[in-house]
Amino acid sequence: MTWNNTKDMSENIFVQNIHISPQYSLQQFKQDFKHSARSINPSGEAQVLILENNQVKAYLNHPQEFSPPYTAYLNFQFKNGKLAQFAIQ
């Protein structure tokens, strides 16, 4: 699912009890996804891998084996500190 313009998002999207809405901000992302926020690129794009609890240890030992597109992920695109695009891939 992809929203090229988050103003068109009408669905209720929750990730571990975190509500992702058109008002979601870069500052909130940095608080909610601290590990992923460290790898946000200069254009404002960030990815959050979707892992099962039993996959976390394996990911920490071999992160290269869990890179997109081999693992499901959330793709966030921020512009001027606000969520501009969002995708579940």
Q: What is the pLDDT along the chain (89 residues), one digit of tens a residue?
A: 889 888 888 898 999 899 999 999 999 999 999 989 998 999 999 999 888 888 888 988 988 888 777 788 999 999 999 999 999 98
Q: Where are the domains of the chain?
A: 2-88
Q: What is the pLDDT of residue 76?
A: 96
Angle at Cα 60 formed by Cα 24 and Cα 86, nearest 5°? 20
> Taking the complete model, does pTM exceed 0.75, yes or no?
yes
Q: How far apart, in whole angstroms, are the C-alpha atoms of residue 31 and residue 59?
A: 21
